[in-house]
Structure 1
Amino acid sequence: MSQVQGPIGVDRALHSAPGTTPTPTIFKEFSLPDRVAIVSGGHRGLGLEMALALAEAGARVYALDLPPSPSEEFINVSRFVERLGEGRSLSYVSVDVTDQKQVWEKVAEIGNKEGRMDVCVAAAGILHEAKCLDYEAEDFQRVMSVNVNGVLYTAQAAGRQMVKFGNGGSIILIASMSGSITNRDHTWVAYNTSKSAVLQMARSLACELGSKQIRVNSLSPGHIYTKMTAAFIDKQPELADKWASSNPLGRLGRPDELRGVVTWLASDASTFCTGSDIIVSGGHHSW
């Protein structure tokens, strides 16, 4: 059910009785009270940032990730969400996203506990670098297993619960600008291929699930400074300036700069958006 009852926008303004004091609805359109969300890869980095954003918007969020127990960083963020109050929560669930049966079962447990499923952010992903002609099969498969299979299994698990409860929902697949372009001078054939697959996966799921009022979109970040990208920058410090100079804004992105777009995609503010790829790259792709 929409967080805003009755007309909105210009229609609401035209139907507003003269002499009354209206209240804005735009913030409610972005809010997620009583919504249940899962975020794979939500233990750290972009996943944790997006999980926190959904929780701040009012959702009960479950972060899915591989470590058997959450880190101190996650625990501290979870305690911060508790202090926000008003039904918000951020919980941790250990799961291997490459194990379809396990993902389905863990998400079904969440659905059964909450009695609904509204939002899915499939953000778990890994990066491995090797020259294309020498790329080892097992390394290539490992990237594809997490970045493609894991994304599909997570979307399936959430989508099955959304269908079960009949409330529709929003599935957001975290791709990358690397699915649409090739990062110059980087040997990331597996990563780039996996992210391109995610773009097509989102479009395909959107077309199948639209009749069930389940929206599916992809979100493609550019160069964002996270622990994953820091692993490359720490070994090659010159990369920071190189990546920063590769977009019109002349800087790396911050994880928090994805908060607004993921909340928009999850909320009623984007109810006519499905099958789309939202690129947040600082303009990198526009050169």
Structure 2
Amino acid sequence: MLPNPSGARLTSVLSARRSHAAFHTSASRRAAGDRMTGTLPSYGPVGVARALDASSATGTNPTLFAKEFSLADRVALVSGGNRGIGLEMALALVEAGTRIVYCLDLPEKPGDEFTKVREYASHLKGTGGEARLEYVSADVTNQNAMWKIGKTIGDREGRMDVCVAAAGILRGDTPCLTYPAKQFEEVIAVNVNGVLYTAQAAGQQMDRFGNGGSIIMIASISGHGANQGHPWVSYNTSKSAVLQMARSMACELGPKRIRVNTISPGYINTSMTGQFLAKRPELVEVWSSHNPLGRIGRPDELRGIVAWLASDSSSFCTGSDILVSGGHHAW
């Protein structure tokens, strides 16, 4: 039998229990509030919530493009940024206001395409940032080197907000039963390991500064199903791996407010695609027939989705794959 406490002691115990209950009720309410709204951006609520809070006598400015889609003062890292989809996305981030985009790629020096785009970006008006593209020669398959690059950027800029892992390679048609080990390992090293090391390089800095962030990995429709008529076992395998990598990382990094998503383009007219089609021009008609729009996509048609995923406007989107394929998947 438990002892019967004295009156004074009973009063003290009850008082302590009330205080404890009040504390936990308050903490529970705060936790419930966080679960209901998440962490609001510095500019506060938006949309209907902002309208309901606003004073009818006070003028206000729209927030959708000025705030929610804006990347003002943010820092980004883009692999494969020397040309193609990577460069297209880097420019889109600059136009959305990113202070600086570090474009990583394998060549020692940037190509003419990058140089011209960097010059163009430096003259943009009204971006809200410094509109800078900076080239960094890097091998995405070198984990230690990638981590060092990420830390160097973090030390220099004091933050890391956006990562786009766009570096990737495609090898020619090779039958799966005789696919050479070296070639398979080469594709996996860039398209899978390189994506992980890129995400790590940026994600470590996002975690370091505690501001959250957005990691965007370039997957492909080839990760959802095989490409009819093309023996691309290494490429298709690598892109499927990226889809699962993003889902796994999204679950692990969600509590740190680091979002991880993928974009799965269809057939896009990049320089890599152009080189392949130059050898087999008949495929232009074939590939175009694989989607309801009846054509191959342009790299600039991915700009809007990367700007959305990088910004506050997609703050409740993680672990998702966005298909941009002209409806290739809808047949």
Amino acid in structure 1 at the alignment position of 2:50: R
Q: Encode CA deviations 1:170-210: one digit per residue, 9 max, x unaligned.
A: 00011001000111001110000000000000000001111
Partner Cα separation in structure 2 for residue 238 and residue 188 of structure 1: 18
Whether 1:48 and 2:91 are equivalent positions in the alignment is no
Which residue does 2:34 correspond to in 1?
none
Identify which of 111, 117, 132 aligns with 1:71: 111
Identify which of 262, 265, 269 aligns with 2:313: 269
Amino acid in structure 2 at the alignment position of 1:174: I
- The number of aligned residues is 287
CA contact (8 A) 1:108 1:157 kept: yes
Partner Cα separation in structure 1 for residue 175 and residue 274 of structure 2: 20
Which residue does 2:256 correspond to in 1?
212
Whether 1:25 and 2:63 are equivalent positions in the alignment is yes
Alignment map for 1:91-240 (pairs within 5 Å): 91-129=134-172, 130-240=174-284
Structure 1: gaps spanning 5 or more residues: none
1:25 Cα deviation after fit: 0.6
1:19 Cα deviation after fit: 4.4
Amino acid in structure 2 at the alignment position of 1:151: V
Structure 2: gaps spanning 5 or more residues: 1-38
Instruction: Look up the SS of the partner of 1:84 in the other structure.
Output: coil
Partner Cα separation in structure 1 for residue 269 and residue 114 of structure 2: 18
Partner Cα separation in structure 2 for residue 7 and residue 220 of structure 1: 31
Amino acid in structure 2 at the alignment position of 1:107: G
CA contact (8 A) 1:38 1:64 kept: yes
1:6 Cα deviation after fit: 2.1
Which residue does 2:31 correspond to in 1?
none
- With 19-28 and 134-143 compared, the bigger mean Cα shift is at 19-28
Partner Cα separation in structure 2 for residue 226 and residue 51 of structure 1: 15
1:17 Cα deviation after fit: 2.2
Instruction: Look up the SS of the partner of 1:13 in the other structure.
Output: helix
CA contact (8 A) 1:3 1:31 kept: no
Alignment map for 1:1-40 (pairs within 5 Å): 5-27=43-65, 28-40=67-79
Partner Cα separation in structure 2 for residue 202 and residue 179 of structure 1: 12
Greater RCO, CA 8 A, separation 6+: 1
Partner Cα separation in structure 2 for residue 138 and residue 159 of structure 1: 30
1:252 Cα deviation after fit: 0.6
Amino acid in structure 1 at the alignment position of 2:149: K
How much is the aligned-residue C-alpha RMSD, in angstroms? 1.3
TM-score normalised to structure 1 length? 0.97
Which residue does 2:131 correspond to in 1?
88
1:50 Cα deviation after fit: 0.2
CA contact (8 A) 1:95 1:103 kept: yes
Which residue does 1:57 correspond to in 2?
96
Q: Encode CA deviations 1:91-128: one digit per residue, 9 max, x unaligned.
A: 00000000001111112111110010000000000001
Amino acid in structure 1 at the alignment position of 2:43: Q
Which residue does 2:3 correspond to in 1?
none
Instruction: Look up the SS of the partner of 1:171 in the other structure.
Output: strand
Instruction: Look up the SS of the partner of 1:172 in the other structure.
Output: strand
Q: Based on CA coordinates, which of the two structures has the bigger radius of gyration?
A: 2
Partner Cα separation in structure 1 for residue 81 and residue 257 of structure 2: 25
Partner Cα separation in structure 2 for residue 279 and residue 48 of structure 1: 19
Structure 1 residues 270 and 100, CA, compared in 2 at 3 Å: closer, same or farther? same
Q: Encode CA deviations 1:193-230: one digit per residue, 9 max, x unaligned.
A: 00000000000000111111100001100000011111
Partner Cα separation in structure 2 for residue 285 and residue 26 of structure 1: 30
1:21 Cα deviation after fit: 3.4
CA contact (8 A) 1:4 1:25 kept: no
- With 10-19 and 235-244 compared, the bigger mean Cα shift is at 10-19
1:268 Cα deviation after fit: 0.2
Percent identity between the two aligned chains: 64
1:2 Cα deviation after fit: 6.9
Amino acid in structure 2 at the alignment position of 1:102: A
